[in-house]
Structure 1
Amino acid sequence: MKFKYITTILSATFILTATSCRKDLEEINQNPNASQTAQPDYLLTAATKATADTYWGTANNMDASLLFVQHWAKIQYTDPDRYIYTNTSFQDLWTVGYTKSIVNLNQIIKLADAQSNPNYKGVALVLRSWVFQLLTDAYGDIPYKQATNINEYLTPAYDKQKDVYFALLDDLKAAQSLLNTTGPAILGDVIYANNIALWKKFANSLRLRIALRIADREPEKAKQVITEIQTEGGSYISANNETAQLVYQASPNQNPISNLFDTRDDYRISKTIVDKLFALADPRLPVYASKTQDATPATYVGIPNGLLVGDASNLGFTKTSKPGTYFLAPNAPAVILSYSESLFDRAEAAARGITTDNAESFYRQAIQASLQQYGATTAAVDTYLASNAVQYDATNYKKSIGEQKWIALFGQGLEAYAEWRRLDYPQLQPAVAGTLSGKLPLRFIYPGTEQSLNRTSYQAAVANQGADVLTTKLWFDVN
């Protein structure tokens, strides 16, 4: 008994000592000159920059979605343009989205509640909704509910795409009610410089985008959301200077496209969009494309998507067009949701009979906004809008809106890719030497890490959605 008693005392002493040592070590390792609690403004800047860099960067934009929608093409290393990928090819959007963007935004939401600052929470919900939208648009079923509490769920379950979109619409509605122009100030906002009124417009414009994303599957839900926005008296992005975007700075904070072109030369503008811009006498051609280095009869020369390496390089590096210098500039913006897109969405809502607005009027305004976004003169805008080739066709609104929206979304690969799959216009042809048996990619494949680290959830998603291949059609993609 005495031995047991002594042992108990020694054990207790050891535990207390160990606990005390650990506490001492924690105190020793604390920086007395730094805050031990993350600040919401720093987290907001970090999450925004990380997401924009990935959204506008190489893996998801230049080497994937911009090729799929035939805005860009490759003149070297053409495997991505031929749809040849591995299960690590689409890792960046997933990894950055979950481990940098969503984690930081979740933390802002917690801090906002603790600090009684609903505006931080509203902004974080808007940005988090955009990140989740990018993820589900690309992959389909994704972790949503359990991904908002990663500390509790290390292997989160996947939610069905329909459920993700519905949840995001709820989140954006909540964000709209939280955002208050007379509420507490925020800092660290590199999109709208802490202007809450513009965040409210962005929130509604994103609600409209997602409502239309589900409109072919869930028309009543889409109508409900858009009617709610109208009932709330909410407004949308209503000028080019209200576009949601991150404007980059000089190196090392330059645009990812600019950064890549500093050292590489393997991308060109696609022949598909060059041909379309020529056919329409579109004033955006010299903005979207650079002149060929060597003089050529056409001045602007795109290359077909998906050529074999030899065939592509034989076209000549100096005889084909890079993307326009506007997009190669260090401070070129990463556009998230433009005024033009908001107008196209309002045109479509009217065309679907969801609103009583004039669809043709919004369609024309959308084209005008896009042209002005890239510096077109009033005369050029008027001439373009008078062209027979761009007149609105009420009998096929998806064609009219889809083709012009595809042009307006140039550079926004992930968004253009989602809209092309949804509207089915323009009617693109598969890559010349494509590897999908004459088909075009319809989704990103899940990162290989999901198979190894979250296998049960991954397998459940594949069982629900279909094979984890590029050609599996996602829930929102009806036709």
Structure 2
Amino acid sequence: MKIKHLSALILFAAVTLSTVSCKKDLQDINKSPNASETAQPDYLLTAAIKNTADTYWGTANNMDASLLFVQYWAKIQYTDPDRYIYSNNAFQELWTVGYSKSIVNLNQIIKLADAQSNPNYKGVALVLRSWTFQLLTDAYGDIPYSQATNISQYLTPAYDKQKDVYFALLEDLKTAQSSLNASGPAILGDVIYGNNITSWKKFANSLRLRIALRIADREPEKAKQVLAEIQAEGSGYISSNSETAQLVYLASPNQNPISNLFDTRDDYRISKTVVDKLFALNDPRLQVYVSKTKDATPNTYVGIPNGLLVGDASNLGFTKTSKPGAYFLAPGAPAVIQSYSEVLFDRAEAAARGFTTENAGELYKQAITASLKQYSVSDADVATYLGQPAVQYNAGNFRKSIGDQKWLALFGQGLEAFAEWRRLDYPQLQPAVAGTLNGKLPLRFLYPGTEQSLNGTNYQSAVSGQGADVLTTKLWFDVN
């Protein structure tokens, strides 16, 4: 859905959720005469969606990190991030926005929903909060969860184990599902589904499916139980491209973050890894994902290797290498949160693991078709693509078939693709050319440096249990 009056909504939300003081007397003294005494859930909802989507699709977590890690994009200037050189503040935005804007707003919506007897606001807020926490734990590992929902009481929240976070999110999504009622009170401010509760029920189940598979290598029985509960509940999953969970942007200043960045910068190109794969499969998404080179070149679409030294990268030529495709550079390009294609791939994997009785191979073909149709590929080209031997489903190695094709389908969604690549171990990527991790690839984000200085005791406890706070520490869900 398009964003309406977005700037005003976000400004209102920012005012109503001004920084909370610990002391009641200071709260009374510092009351703003211009601030609303009562926050409105619709304004808070719009703000939470926009803030989280901007961060998910933005520079620090997507363009300068996860898009490079999974080799969708590469750097032609300022190549340190592509070589895995980061400070401990490089990954701060996901953490800061996730906790101080997204989760704070969503917690407030939940309180207002209970006070106003509107369970649909609560259900929607729980779905979005679960997604936000999922992004955080996928990226960092152990994170504050149980105490992070009450920041006024816990200024230095303890970290929960990743397993416990995933289990808690599954319960939160189950609660969200039971709270959502298409015949219940109306909501406003929903710039994803236009206040359609039936769509939110499907999105809630689709996130439950995603998280169930995230834990499947560690806790297969729990994953299977979750899928059985979803089937019994009966609302189903996202079931068409029109039901994809996404935020559709407008023109500046509410444009897609990628479009906004490319208005003033020219230091990103498409990775040679993904271009080579698209060429090898005669993939019709090539011309969608990748722009033609400005100067004529033999291949028209030219990616660059990840992790080159600055001189080696720039020598490839700015006009002889490809930027992302025009679709992704458009101001109104959507920030996809969870696509129909992803849900079909997830259902295919669940079937391949024996968690359901569905047909894994058929769902795999449907998933690829949904991804191609997402970009308006013709039926004839879809059929040709599916007919290639290299695209056929291999029941003997579902991880490779699903991992390779899901990687292509998730193009642009750096954080989700990064999590799925670590979990499925496909495609088999090679480390950056001049990488600094001794021939290894990143497996997580670094905790923000502020956690060491402001929440040091809990930070140290998390690190001692999980492993060193470095890019190569493997997280709990990442088994293989």
Deviation at 1:303, TM superposition (A): 0.2
Q: State the partner residue of 2:9.
A: none
Aligned CA-pair RMSD: 1.4
Could you give the per-residue CA deviations for residues 234-265 of structure 1, whole angstroms, max 9, x where no partner exists? 30000001000000000000000000000000
One-letter code of the match for 2:38? T
| Aligned match for 1:30, one of 30, 33, 48 | 33
Deviation at 1:231, TM superposition (A): 1.1
Unaligned stretches of 5+ in structure 2?
Answer: 1-23
Q: State the partner residue of 1:16.
A: none
Unaligned stretches of 5+ in structure 1?
Answer: 1-18
Could you give the per-residue CA deviations for residues 122-161 of structure 1, whole angstroms, max 9, x where no partner exists? 0000000000000000000000000000000000000000
Question: Aligned partners of 2:313, 2:406: CA distance in 1, in Å?
Answer: 28
Q: State the partner residue of 2:46.
A: 45
One-letter code of the match for 1:56? W
Say which SS state the counterpart of residue 245 (structure 1) adopts: strand
Q: Does 1:397 align with 2:398?
A: yes
Q: How many residues align?
A: 457
Could you give the per-residue CA deviations for residues 339-391 of structure 1, whole angstroms, max 9, x where no partner exists? 00000000000000000000000000000000000110000000001111100
Could you give the per-residue CA deviations for residues 163-216 of structure 1, whole angstroms, max 9, x where no partner exists? 000000000000000000000000000100100000000000000000000000
Question: Aligned partners of 1:423, 1:20: CA distance in 2, in Å?
Answer: 53
Q: Does 1:82 align with 2:80?
A: no
Question: Aligned partners of 1:332, 1:50: CA distance in 2, in Å?
Answer: 16
Question: Aligned partners of 1:283, 1:21: CA distance in 2, in Å?
Answer: 60
Question: Aligned partners of 2:30, 2:381: CA distance in 1, in Å?
Answer: 66
One-letter code of the match for 2:394? D
One-letter code of the match for 2:179? L
One-letter code of the match for 2:479? V
Question: Aligned partners of 1:384, 1:20: CA distance in 2, in Å?
Answer: 67
Question: Aligned partners of 2:245, 2:27: CA distance in 1, in Å?
Answer: 47
Say which SS state the counterpart of residue 60 (structure 1) adopts: helix
Q: Does 1:279 align with 2:277?
A: no
One-letter code of the match for 2:312? D
| Residues 288 and 20 of structure 1, relative CA distance in 2, 3 Å threshold | closer
Say which SS state the counterpart of residue 384 (structure 2) adopts: helix
Question: Aligned partners of 1:175, 1:245: CA distance in 2, in Å?
Answer: 19
Q: State the partner residue of 1:110.
A: 111
Deviation at 1:233, TM superposition (A): 1.4
| Residues 431 and 21 of structure 1, relative CA distance in 2, 3 Å threshold | closer
Could you give the per-residue CA deviations for residues 89-135 of structure 1, whole angstroms, max 9, x where no partner exists? 00000000000000000000000000000000000000000000000
Q: How does 1:117-132 map to 2 (within 5 A)?
A: 117-132=118-133
One-letter code of the match for 2:376? G
Could you give the per-residue CA deviations for residues 372-418 of structure 1, whole angstroms, max 9, x where no partner exists? 00110000000001111100000000000000000000000000000
Q: State the partner residue of 1:7.
A: none
Q: How does 1:301-312 map to 2 (within 5 A)?
A: 301-312=302-313
One-letter code of the match for 1:70? Q
Q: How does 1:363-382 map to 2 (within 5 A)?
A: 363-382=364-383
TM-score when normalising by structure 1: 0.94
Q: State the partner residue of 1:325.
A: 326
Percent identical residues? 82
Q: State the partner residue of 1:12.
A: none
Q: Which runs of 4+ in 1 moved over 3 A?
A: 19-23
Question: Aligned partners of 1:340, 1:462: CA distance in 2, in Å?
Answer: 36
Q: State the partner residue of 1:441.
A: 442
Q: Does 1:141 align with 2:132?
A: no
